[in-house]
Amino acid sequence: MAERRFSNLRPDRVLALQKARLRQIIWLVIVALAIFCLTNLTRGTWINLVLDLGLIAMLLLAYRWNQRDRLELAAAWTIAALLIGLTALMAVDQGLYDEAPLAFPALLVFAGMFGSRKLLVVLVVLMLAALIALYFLHEAGIALSVPRPLNWRRPFAMGLIIAFSGFFMWLLAGDLSRNLLRLESEKLALQASRERIALMARHDSLTGLPNRTLAMDQLQYLLGKPRRGQELIAVMFLDLDNFKTINDSLSHAVGDALLCKVGDALRMAVRGTDMAARMSGDEFLIVLGDLEDERAAAETATRIMQALSEPFQLEGVEVPITASLGIALAPRDGNDPAVLLKHADLAMYQAKDAGRNAFRFFDASVNQGIIEHLQIASGLRAALARNELEVHFQPKFELAGGRVVGAEALLRWPRPENEAVSVHRLIAVAERSGLIHEIGAWVLQQACAAVSEWRRIGLGALTVSVNVSPLQFRRGNLEAAVRDALAANALAPGGLELELTESTFADTPDLVEVLRRLGALGVHVTIDDFGTGYSNLAYLQRFALHSLKIDQSFVRQLGAGTQEEGLVRTIIEMAHGLGLQATAEGIESAEALARLRAFGCEFGQGFLWSPALPSEAFITFVRQHRAASA
């Protein structure tokens, strides 16, 4: 049982090798015994011949067991047969003068190779016991140890035993050598694997640059190292500009290749003692030590920007890239790695605010606005996830008849524990943080759900207008978001109106085709804040528009002078001349309302009637207004 459990622990390749070796050794011993049978036959030593034949029979049985994968039994049987046979041959032949004991060392090696330590010890004891027994049998006169006269057979037998024992040792030595080489190879492979794992743990797998962990360790080392004089340590946080656009448009494989190129450029731009590392995505960290002054950091930043200024050749395409880089200096901006990294990150945002493709040093006073931006962006993201945002609706009126015809959907973020964030700041943060796409789609869904509910409860064919950021058009999925919102709320396209600022027309490619498809669908499109944009009126003829919305800064000035009235009148007349309707926002006085009616403006909204209201309050307002007008 113990031997069987032991064999189960051996690898299959070891068992296969032992089985093959046992088969070779059995045949080797059988050949040797066959030769001895011939010599005994010619010499007429019949007892030795019978013993040799008996040994051959026992070895053939061991061979059979070995072929049936009973390795332990075959090996033990072979060892036992050889020990008994050799001892018997000694007893019937020359005793202690016999050449048979020459095979004992090989038999011991054989036992050590195929058996256990216990079997080896037992075999040694039995061999010693056999020799002692032969001695006492000789002394008692029972089995005399008498050497035969020397002739050619004796050295032949001894040479044959030595030759076959040597061949067995040669097989064993070869196996041992191969196993040692294999173990050494596995050791080297394991060592190389550990080195690769250690390298991967502290290096970026894509670019080969040090990763965040190694860079922060380097920064910690530099901060803890004694500095001579006024040497500075610089931490640079670099972010590629518009990398997502490149990644999405040219494929992620090209994006990865670009990151590798940027990594190579950063290695070349810094000194050998400095470290350029990849943080994550398209963000990189550069750690500089032993700088004489701020100018030395600026020179390195300039080299980095110059290294990235030339387009990279990727798959036959020239890919231009720019970066925004922020710099924090120790000890001026802090002596803690986390603080320095945070300050460099804030300085990088300041570089982006400056128009990108620039670097900026950390400035606590300037970066306060960036900190507020990050806090608002973080809170806005959490509010969206927790469904804390709200959509309010400002009533929209038909000026001629005074009836409510719809509403404008406006985003609100109630923050009872903090100061209110203006809508303009809220939208600006959403656009800069990338949340505008998710928030825009959510507002579309809420607005369509609200107008669908209004129609269901009998408020009539009211419409809802939703402001759309230029970024939503540039991403290319606005049309799908509109279709999803209409379908999810079973709302006819005529119930939805999209409001676009004039900058959308200047900054968005392929807008003509998008607006044409939306118009064909039945969705109305309005230019919001008209008169405050680029003053290029060519798009009024090119795009599928339905109305102009006069900016409230002009409407609020009605009554203050003839110039403002002339401007508003001109906008309305121009809209009508192009077959468009006019909507005025920011109506706050009866005087302004009267003038707009006189100018022929069709629709309006403003505090004269109501501010933006939650949906339930809007429903109540519409019902009360209709009751008062009846």
Residues 351, 496, single domain; the answer is: no
- Assigned domain for 195 exists: no
- 266 Cβ contact partners less than 8 Å away, ≥ 6 residues apart: 209, 238, 276, 284, 286, 304, 307
* Phi/psi-derived region of residue 394, left when phi > 0, alpha when psi is between -120 and 50, beta in every other case: beta
Residues pairing with 406 in the sheet: 396, 463
Residue 63 is assigned to a structural domain of this protein? yes
Q: What is the pLDDT of residues 77-120, one digit of tens each?
A: 887 888 887 888 777 777 777 777 887 887 777 777 766 677 77
Position 283 pLDDT exceeds 90: yes
Q: pLDDT tens digits for 461-472?
A: 999 999 998 888
Question: What are the distances in angstroms from CA 420 to CA 414, 425, 426, 430, 610?
Answer: 7, 10, 10, 15, 20
Q: Are residues 165 and 238 in the same domain?
A: no
263 in a structural domain: yes
Check residue 8 and give its pLDDT. 44
Given a cut of 50, whether residue 32 has pLDDT beyond it is: yes
Q: Is 319 left (phi over 0), alpha (psi -120 to 50) or beta?
A: beta
Q: What is the pLDDT of residue 269?
A: 92
Same domain, 233 and 126: no
Burial track 294-313 (b if 16+ CB lie within 10 A, e otherwise): eeebeebbebbbebbeeebe
Q: What integer is the mean pLDDT of 427-452?
A: 89
User: Are residues 116 and 225 both part of a single domain?
Assistant: no
Same domain, 52 and 124: yes
**Residues 96, 22 share a domain:** yes
The helix (H) or strand (E) run that includes residue 109 is: helix 104-114
Whether 333 is in a domain gets the answer: yes
**Measured distance CA(223)–CA(112) in Å, rounded:** 61
Residue 546 lies in a domain: yes
Instruction: Identify the pLDDT of residue 266.
Output: 94
For 40-59, the DSSP string reads: HHHHT-HHHHHHHHHHHHHH
- What value does the mean pLDDT take over residues 388-398? 93
pLDDT digits (tens, 9 = 90+) for 127-157: 888 888 888 888 888 877 777 776 666 677 7
Choice among 272-281, 316-325, 524-533, 608-617 with the minimum mean pLDDT: 524-533
Question: Looking up tokens 């339930």, which residue turns up?
Answer: 616
pLDDT score of 312 more than 80: yes
Q: Which tops the pLDDT comparison, 518 or 179?
A: 518
Asked if 367 and 334 count as a contact pair (C-beta separation under 8 A), the reply is: no
Half-sphere CA count of 556, side-chain side, radius 13 A: 6
How many structural domains is the chain composed of?
3
Phi, psi of 303 (to 5 degrees): -60, -40
Per-residue pLDDT band for 7 (boundaries 50, 70, 90) equals very low
| pLDDT tier for residue 449 given thresholds of 50, 70 and 90 | very high
The pTM of the full predicted model, rounded to 2 decimals, is 0.52
Please check whether residues 582 and 465 belong to one and the same domain.
yes
Question: Distance between terminal CA atoms of the chain?
Answer: 104
**Domain interval for residue 501:** 391-411+434-629
- Banded model confidence at residue 6, pLDDT cuts 50, 70, 90: very low
Contacts of 128 (CB under 8 A, 6+ apart): none
